[in-house]
Amino acid sequence: MDVTPILESLNDAQRQAVTAAAEPTLVIAGAGSGKTRVLVHRAAWLIDVEGVSPQSLLAVTFTNKAAAEMRGRIEALLGMPVNHLWIGTFHGLAHRLLRRHWQEAKLPQNFQIIDSDDQLRLIKRLLKNLEIDDSRWVPKEIQWFINAQKDEGLRPQHLDDGRDPNRRQLIALYAAYEEVCERGGLVDFAELLLRAHELWRDNPDLLAHYQRRFQHLLVDEFQDTNAIQYAWLRLLAGDNAAIPFVVGDDDQSIYRWRGARVEHIHRFQRDFPDARVVKLEQNYRSTATILNAANAVIVNNADRMGKNLWTDGAEGEPIRLYSAYNERDEADFVIGRLRDWIDQGNARADAAILYRSNAQSRVLEEGLINAGIPYRVYGGLRFFERAEIKDALAYLRLISHREDDASFERIVNRPTRGIGARTVETIRAYARANSCTMWRAAGAVASDELAGRAANAVLAFMNLIERMARETTGLDLQDKVDHVIHASGLVQMFRNDKGERGETRLENLMELVSAAKSFEPDPAGEMSPLDEFLSHAALEAGEGQAEAWEDCAQLMTMHSAKGLEFPLVFMCGMEDGLFPHQRSIADPDGLEEERRLCYVGITRAKQTLYVTYAEQRRLHGMDSFSQPSRFIAEIPDEYVEEIRPRVQVSRPVRAPRSGATGSLRRSSDAEMGVRLGQRVRHGKFGDGVILNYEGQGAHARVEVNFETAGTKWLVLSYANLDLM
């Protein structure tokens, strides 16, 4: 048999891992050393050379995108499709198991997945029903509490209140929340994992079945498994059942805040004392400069397994550091450099703009839109999370499952059809009193309790849903979606909403039809295409929006960038307080996690890395001044080139700075007392901030970013600016 393609372009250590005998294996290695590559080649090796059936492999990746990529790469190596190979995220795989074994998992056959938004709404409603003050019991904190317990595998009955009334209340709310989910057949993300674990734990025959089926267990990004995920893997591995082959990097553990435990690397070695440990030390991704910089940052962490990572690649360009005046200046700079890169004939998709916090994307997005550069945001406001999309999905869900209360509430009066808050409250009260669904309650109160007009409105809504269900029976998925967005009145509603917003929403709704059209049901799927599509919408909301048919720049948080690589990377907002994040600065463990995140960010870059920070930033509606991130100082000077000398913010300069270039020439007019970042007020344009200067004396001009009027260049001697 010709095994060369599978062993090609692997170094000795990688080859050793790929061809290892069937024994528990732990590959522990730094960024870009080929861990994911080893996993892909291992799968191909097992199938092609060891003759293992694709059915007997279970591969776990961190994102759906990574799963799709991995499947593609395995198929490319083998030269054939591997439909029966189970490959996905922990959540995706758990979901598949629960669909297959809904009875054993004690779920209704048509259970619905709710995303974290739905979950939060459910909790808010629960508090309202229980008449609990949501300023004292903050819904987000309750949500966090519930998910944290589930991630540890704990149900309310496992929890001890330790005589703490606060905790007692949280546990009670967890129990109440469980009841609501149970009644509505709703399953949140954390529940997927917990149920799947309980499914195997409580059904030994079923577990034995899967242990016979899966001989090999391949896990990427092992350092970020949480307790319940590890327990699930451990169950499957049993004593001598599926053989685990896991790859990870302790320096890239960045989800501790979500329950991930890097200690699982040690735990693995305890649980499988004979495990083979393979280290990979050569980095193939980045230039020497980028790799050295990353190593110099991560070495400041005390709690590490420690490893050697080297490259025989070129030294490469220096890391470019840019100090911006504010977030707008930062965005302008990033977009300018991105433009240059695109103009040089590079693919937009090869450039990634990374940031610490989702909210940072807005200013960057604005800039990209103005510059006409197509882009995509991973995470943040994603396609499936947009309000109009959720409206349409709620109709689809309700058509498919009348007991879906969250969907019922979302659309009962959307578009408005005369069903007011009072009516909804009556329905809710009935549902609560009779422990039934909103749908049933609506039918009951419409005939008994409600006054004529309200009753008619409710009945009309119910008829609409029934009619839509009838009319869409037998239609293709895309036609179903198309029918529903029209028959529901959503399209008409947004059409009436003149202006750009309505238009965008309409476009998004149309995009949903395209998404349905291009949706490919899982070849091993168990559900109707509609249900699968709805689950897909909930599961994938966290990642890509509609398929990338267009070459576009990639925007994402550093967290979402894990495992990916790009020739050009921008790391934005490198300021203390933002990155490292304010809440982790005082906590040594938190700071180390932030540093690992910085290591992840730097090591995404293959050739070119820009690091930017702003002296002043408006974020979440607040202005703040900050210091450059301490992580920047950890990168040795020899690897860094400052793009241009920083202009002292209030230093008076009478002549244009000699080294300054182009339109960004900055000078300052000491007599005026004008300085960059200065807040000013203009008679017509209102309040703004000075971004830029040009010229001197009578010709001096300033660029001001006005809060409402946008950016304008003004001649200072005419503008009559008030300094503030």
Which residues are the active-site residues? 35-36, 220-221, 252, 604
Nearest residue to Mg ion by CB is 36
Q: Tell the smallest beta-carbon distance from residue 423 to ligand ATP (Å).
A: 53
Token pair in block for residue 240 = 């001598």
Q: Does the footprint of ligand ATP cover residue 492 (CB under 6 A)? A: no
With b for 16 or more beta-carbon neighbours within 10 A and e for fewer, the 277-302 pattern comes to ebebebbbbbbbbbbbbbbbbbeebe
C-alpha span between 204 and 104 (Å, rounded): 11
- Closer CB to Mg ion, 30 or 544, in the complex: 30
- Closer CB to ligand ATP, 149 or 292, in the complex: 292
The residues binding Mg ion (CB under 5 A) are 35-36, 563
- Helical H runs in 603-724? 630-633, 716-719
Q: Which listed residue (37, 96, 596, 675) binds ligand ATP by CB under 6 A?
A: 37
Q: Which listed residue (13, 24, 25, 36) binds ligand ATP by CB under 6 A?
A: 36
Contact partner, 63, from Mg ion, ligand ATP, none, Cβ < 5-8 Å per class = none
Count Cα atoms within 13 angstroms, Cβ side, for 475: 18
- Closer CB to Mg ion, 35 or 337, in the complex: 35
Q: Does the footprint of ligand ATP cover residue 33 (CB under 6 A)? A: yes
Contact partner, 181, from ligand ATP, Mg ion, none, Cβ < 5-8 Å per class = none
Q: Which listed residue (35, 99, 390, 480) binds ligand ATP by CB under 6 A?
A: 35
**Cα-based distances in Å from 347 to 73, 242, 553, 568:** 21, 42, 8, 10
Q: Judge contact between 59 and 246, C-beta under 8 A.
A: no
- Closer CB to ligand ATP, 63 or 488, in the complex: 63
Instruction: Give the pairing type, strands 640-642 and 319-326.
Output: parallel
Q: Tell the smallest beta-carbon distance from residue 37 to Mg ion (Å).
A: 8
Q: Tell the smallest beta-carbon distance from residue 95 to Mg ion (Å).
A: 23
Q: Which of residues 276-315 bind ligand ATP (CB under 6 A)?
A: 284-285
Q: Judge contact between 13 and 278, C-beta under 8 A.
A: yes
Q: Tell the smallest beta-carbon distance from residue 5 to ligand ATP (Å).
A: 13
CA-based end-to-end distance of the chain: 78
C-alpha span between 153 and 639 (Å, rounded): 45
- Closer CB to ligand ATP, 260 or 419, in the complex: 260
- Closer CB to ligand ATP, 70 or 457, in the complex: 70
Q: Which of 404, 444, 435 is nearest to 179 (CA)?
A: 435
Tell whether omega for the bond before 580 is within 30 degrees of 0, i.e. cis.
yes
Count Cα atoms within 13 angstroms, Cβ side, for 344: 10
Q: Which listed residue (24, 32, 139, 184) binds ligand ATP by CB under 6 A?
A: 32
579: exposed, middle or buried (C-beta count within 10 Å: 0-12, 13-18, 19+)? Answer: buried
Beta bridge partners of 687: 681
Instruction: Give the pairing type, strands 553-557 and 351-355.
Output: parallel
Q: Which listed residue (31, 82, 324, 468) binds ligand ATP by CB under 6 A?
A: 31
Q: Does the footprint of ligand ATP cover residue 83 (CB under 6 A)? A: no
Q: Does the footprint of ligand ATP cover residue 316 (CB under 6 A)? A: no
Q: Does the footprint of ligand ATP cover residue 54 (CB under 6 A)? A: no
Q: Tell the smallest beta-carbon distance from residue 694 to ligand ATP (Å).
A: 44
Contact partner, 33, from ligand ATP, Mg ion, none, Cβ < 5-8 Å per class = ligand ATP
Contact partner, 34, from Mg ion, ligand ATP, none, Cβ < 5-8 Å per class = ligand ATP
Question: Interacting stretch for ligand ATP, rule CB under 6 A, among 26-34, 154-162, 267-275, 680-688?
Answer: 26-34
Q: Does the footprint of ligand ATP cover residue 249 (CB under 6 A)? A: yes
The H helix count followed by the E strand count for the chain is 28, 21
> Kind and range of the H or E element at 231?
helix 227-237
Q: What residues line the site for ligand ATP (CB under 6 A)?
A: 9-11, 14, 29, 31-37, 249, 252, 284-285, 563, 565, 603
